[in-house]
Amino acid sequence: MDLREPSRSEAGMIAGWERHPDNERFIIAGDEAQHVTALEDPDLRYFILDDRGLPVGFVLLAGLAGGNGAVEFRRIVVMEKGRGYGRAAVKAVKQYCFEVLHVHRLWLDVLEENIRARSLYESAGFVREGVLRECVRREDGFHSLVVMSMLDSEYASDRPESVS
């Protein structure tokens, strides 16, 4: 799994992936124009997930311009579920954030009912911090978000080469 920065011309593809029925129920989708604008925002960083040159999804990080050493893992969208792309993407994002950006804290929020994503994050070492109760309003009612994070010390202790 490779991470690469998208071109402006791929904003429509990103918006289409978000609107896919398998994805849009778990995220707040943007349109193409919003993604074009966001691609220019220094506080955000998009990466296309490539599997041997084929785009299979994307991730979005936020908070890069902040000075507190924390980055938000804002979005992950994978088009083909069950092929290990999500797991590989989470691993690549952790490596990028902790080894390239040298962040202190990588955090995310996930809809409480998104069991598949929560299980992935837990198995990748993210720690549940709490619940933002009924903070997202959708057509079918209010939904809660689970806040999860990983600290640089937790990332370092989880890496095989750090085992004594």
The tens place of each residue's pLDDT in the chain, 164 residues long, gives 889 999 899 999 898 888 877 777 777 777 888 888 899 999 999 999 999 989 999 999 999 998 889 999 999 999 888 889 999 999 999 999 999 999 999 999 999 999 999 999 999 999 999 999 999 998 899 999 999 999 999 999 876 554 43
pLDDT the model gives residue 161: 55
Q: Cα separation of 61 and 71, whole Å?
A: 7
Q: pLDDT of 42-72, one tens digit each?
A: 999 999 999 998 999 999 999 999 888 999 9
Q: What pTM value is reported for the model?
A: 0.88
Return the CATH architecture of domain 2-162: 3-Layer(aba) Sandwich (3.40)
Strand order in the sheet with 54-62: 2-4, 44-51, 54-62, 70-78, 105-111, 141-151, 127-138
β partners of residue 131:
146
Residues making up the chain, counted from first to last: 164
Mean pLDDT score across all residues of the chain = 90
Q: Cα separation of 69 and 35, whole Å?
A: 25
Write the burial class of residue 136 (CB in 10 Å: 0-12 exposed, 13-18 middle, 19+ buried): middle
- Domain boundaries in the chain? 2-162
